[in-house]
Amino acid sequence: MAGSQDIFDAIVMADERFHGEGYREGYEEGSSLGVMEGRQHGTLHGAKIGSEIGCYQGFAFAWKCLLHSCTTEKDRKMKVLESLIGMIQKFPYDDPTYDKLHEDLDKIRGKFKQFCSLLNVQPDFKISAEGSGLSF
């Protein structure tokens, strides 16, 4: 009777052991895949935000040069433009854990729209497979 009890215990213990090993292997594999997927997701979205901010910055610098040569109604436009450039320069490019990242990005978008309204242009920022950019 003791021999059959040992065989039964070995079968039950093997099942528990295999279950535990399978769980650990699955957890390790899932963690590894999760890190890779997370890195890809972060890279993609970080690149989109960087492209958007870069487009705003290029737009702002180009208009800064254009408005310096123009003398009509430039005070209000320059004030808003300098504010936009300041917000872009303060944006935390290298800190993805910054808790107000999306809030600051929304403020930049709003300031950009305000400046475009003063210029009487209708920009449309697009991100696509071909790249990103503004169209008018």
pTM of full prediction above 0.85 = no
Q: Per-residue pLDDT tens for 95-125?
A: 878 899 989 999 999 999 999 999 888 877 6
Band (pLDDT 50/70/90 cuts) for residue 136 is: very low
Other C-beta atoms closer than 10 Å to the C-beta of 55 total: 18
Whether the Cβ atoms of residue 82 and residue 30 lie closer than 8 Å to each other: no
Calculate the dihedral angle through the C-alpha atoms of 93, 96, 97, 103, rounding to the nearest 10 degrees: 70
Which conformational region is residue 131 in: left (phi greater than 0), alpha (psi within -120 to 50 degrees), or beta? left
| Per-residue pLDDT band at 4 (split at 50, 70, 90) | low
**Exposed, middle or buried by CB within 10 Å (0-12, 13-18, 19+), for 56?**
buried
